[in-house]
Structure 1
Amino acid sequence: MARTDFGSLPRQNPCAQCGEPIGVPEWIENEASRTRYLWHCLVCDYRFEAVAIFEDADPDALAA
């Protein structure tokens, strides 16, 4: 699914190989409790993935 909310996108992540900042991820993949980011450094052509893991929502919690 294409993402429309770009306000919470990580930005200027340093390259894991050379350390140069990368403006935005090349690809974003959302799952139930995690988001995967594919980063591509245009300086050294290195690609790497970062994963953000979120706590599962409590299905028994009630809205106040």
Structure 2
Amino acid sequence: MKCFTSRALHLILRVLVQITSPLWKATRENAKGVWGVHEAEREAVRMNAECPSRHVPKISKIR
């Protein structure tokens, strides 16, 4: 009985790993994409701070 239970659990775990592995991979890829977007946003903010565009109107102080 113990041997059967052990084999059954092993088989169930193998199946679960095979099912969830693509899901984890997709989650990791999505996370990489999100962090890539954040990195691009930070880079854009840094670039704008270093050399602002000429199309952005200057705001004068309110007296």
TM bucket normalised to smaller: under 0.3
Asked which structure has the greater RCO (Cα within 8 Å, sep 6+), the reply is: 1
Which has the larger strand fraction?
A: 1
* Larger gyration radius, structure 1 or structure 2: 2
For normalisation by structure 2, the TM-score amounts to 0.22
Which has the larger helix fraction?
A: 2
